[in-house]
Amino acid sequence: MKTKSEEMEKTSAIENILARKSVRAYTPKPVEKGKVDLLVKAAMAAPTAVNKQPWAFIVIDDRAVLDKLAEELPYAKMTAQAPMAIVVCGDLSKSLHGEEDQYWMLDCSAASENLLLAAESMGLGAVWTAVYPETERMAKVRTVLSLPGHIVPFNLIPIGYPQHKEEAKDKFKEENIHYNKW
């Protein structure tokens, strides 16, 4: 039998998952270092193929770098307003089968979702903006951040305190569920 505390934690986790939304407008308030550390720690708690952890995280709070990324990336314009961003990268030197491996993308996706859920739980707003697999976007991020060749920029996640209260979308669709066969 579960304790009331265990039941509340389970409810809180589900509520947090269902409350997650993409936030694209932020206040200028900086995100505290302790929260930034917790975001990255949560990201690194994600599962990975054979526990290879083929990721690296670039925390950006330099206004000039944020503005340059906003200028270079067509779907990350909100970065010009965000007090910070985290670029989730795949580290091909740590991937399951080296450079030809594709599992790093799955691992970075899991880490990114953990990061987004952690942001939601801390009252922060965040949005996943794709970099990979767009060759031009990857090249621009590589240049702006001086990435070595074995590091692949996967996404850019602008983060900050939401400027407005936003509601999560209900994405549940029963027609997408199949039992035992199609």
pLDDT tens per residue across all 182 residues of the chain: 666 666 656 669 999 999 999 999 999 999 999 999 999 999 999 999 999 999 999 999 999 999 999 999 999 999 999 999 999 999 999 988 766 778 999 999 999 999 999 999 999 999 999 999 999 999 999 999 999 999 999 999 999 999 999 899 999 999 999 999 99
Integer CA distances (angstroms), 63 to 47, 68, 105, in order: 32, 9, 28
Contact in structure between 43 and 98 (CB atoms under 8 Å): no
- Across-strand partners of 60? 85
Among positive and negative, which fits the CA dihedral 114, 115, 120, 122?
A: positive
Give the other-Cβ count within 10 Å of 101's Cβ.
17
Which residues 6+ apart lie within 8 Å of 114 measured at CB?
42, 43, 45, 46
Integer CA distances (angstroms), 72 to 11, 55, 59, 78, in order: 40, 23, 18, 12
Residue of 86, 73, 82 lying closest to 25 (CA atoms)? 82
**Amino acid identity, residue 160?**
G
Contact in structure between 43 and 88 (CB atoms under 8 Å): yes
Among positive and negative, which fits the CA dihedral 65, 31, 134, 93?
A: positive
